[in-house]
Every structure is written in C-alpha cells, then in structure tokens.
Amino acid sequence: MSKETPDGGWEPLRQAATVALTKAYAPYSNFPVGAAARLEDGSIVSGCNVENASYGLTLCAECTLVGAARMNGGGLITEFYCVDGSGAILMPCGRCRQLLFEFSTAATLVMTSSGAKTMDAILPDAFGPNNLQDANSPKYTENPKEQP
Ligand code: THU
C-alpha cells in the first residue's frame, strides 16, 4: 500500500533535486530542471537536463537520473521529485514518464503539484516490460522489475 509520506520523507528528495538543478545545462531553453529519486535500498539519485545544439537531442533530467540509478547499482524507484528553475514541482514529460515506469512499481510515488501520485495515475495502462514477455525472446528476460 502506498503512503503519501514515504519513509525518509519528501524533503531529502526536494533538496537533492534542487542541488541537481544547479548542474543543469540548459542554454537553449533557459529552463533548468533537477530531478531526484529514492531507490528501494533508500539511496537517492539525481539528474539534471543536458541540452544540445541539436535541440531534439536534449536529455531531460529524468534521462540522466535513470542513468545515475543504473550506475549506482540499479534498483527500482520508490519516490520521484522534479523541480524547475524556480524550485516548483515539475511533472515529467510524456517520454520521461515512460522512462520512470521502466524502473517503478505499483507503489512508486511521483510528487506532483497536487500531491503524490502513483505511476498508474500519471501513465495509465502503460506499455512496459511485461508486454514484451510474450515475445518469448532471451533478449526480453532482463525485466528490471524481476531483478532480485
Ligand atoms: N525537461 C526535463 O528535463 N524534464 C521534463 O520532464 C520536462 C522537460 C527539460 C527538457 C528541456 O531541456 C527543458 O526542460 C525545456 O523543455
């Protein structure tokens, strides 16, 4: 059962996202973003947006966050918090909801301007790793949700 206030609270995530914000590289949009997530083991990972002169190749903060999560040993996300340059809570874009879903559970909470929500609330009926299992291919056995 998910809880509005997770173990450890939201404040460490807000703070980590705010620190990550200072690392953003956003000279084209002038819209820095910082994101932070708590993983199952209680560790906190963060990310910032990294833009590129070829605008469409921009990495959202969630992209660098999921990379950091993997580089820090992986694990699923229990809570996620994202801020814009003013420190206000920012909703993940559509693509990034998919990125987060890959490493989430039914209990994963995303902080929104209207309170904590489950991934299912922000990406209903999501396409995910389980949809690929019917493909019965060795390449699809690395479902992160089934890793120990
Ligand atoms: N951005 C993110 O980093 N995450 C989101 O979920 C929304 C958008 C970034 C991408 C771009 O660098 C800037 O915000 C403006 O779109």
In a domain, 94, yes or no: yes
CATH number of the domain that residue 65 is part of: 3.40.140.10
Please give the tally of structural domains in the chain: 1
Strand, coil or helix: 116: strand
Is 26 near ligand 1, meaning CB less than 6 Å away? yes
Is 61 near ligand 1, meaning CB less than 6 Å away? yes
Segment 137-144 mean pLDDT: 62
pLDDT digit string (tens) for 99-119? Answer: 999 999 999 999 999 999 999
Residue 36 pairs in a beta bridge with: 46, 81
Segment 114-131 mean pLDDT: 96
In a domain, 69, yes or no: yes
Of 85, 38, 92, 40, which is closest to residue 63 (Cα–Cα)? 92
In a domain, 2, yes or no: no
Is 64 near ligand 1, meaning CB less than 6 Å away? no
pLDDT digit string (tens) for 3-59? Answer: 578 888 999 999 999 999 999 999 999 999 999 999 999 999 999 999 999 999 999
In angstroms and rounded to an integer, the radius of gyration of the C-alpha atoms of the chain is 15
Instruction: Measure the CA–CA gap between 135 and 115, rounded to whole angstroms.
Output: 37
Higher pLDDT, 143 or 15: 15
Residue 20 phi/psi, 5° resolution?
A: -60, -35
In a domain, 92, yes or no: yes
**Closest atom of ligand 1 relative to the 96 alpha carbon:** 6
**pLDDT, position 144:** 76
Strand, coil or helix: 28: coil
Is 29 near ligand 1, meaning CB less than 6 Å away? yes
For CA atoms 70, 71, 73, 78, the dihedral sign is: negative
Segment 50-78 mean pLDDT: 97
Range of the domain at 22: 11-146
In a domain, 41, yes or no: yes
In a domain, 5, yes or no: no
The answer to whether the beta carbons of residues 23 and 89 sit under 8 Å apart is: no
In a domain, 1, yes or no: no
Question: What is the 1 CA–ligand 1 centroid distance (Å)?
Answer: 31
pLDDT digit string (tens) for 91-100? Answer: 999 999 999 9
Tell me which residue has its CA closest to atom 10 in ligand 1.
Answer: 60
Percentage helix, strand, coil for the chain under 3-state DSSP, each rounded to 5: 35, 20, 45
Checking if the pLDDT of 134 tops 70, the result is no
Tell me which residue has its CA closest to atom 13 in ligand 1.
Answer: 31
**pLDDT, position 3:** 58
In a domain, 3, yes or no: no
Of 95, 46, 44, which is closest to residue 67 (Cα–Cα)? 46
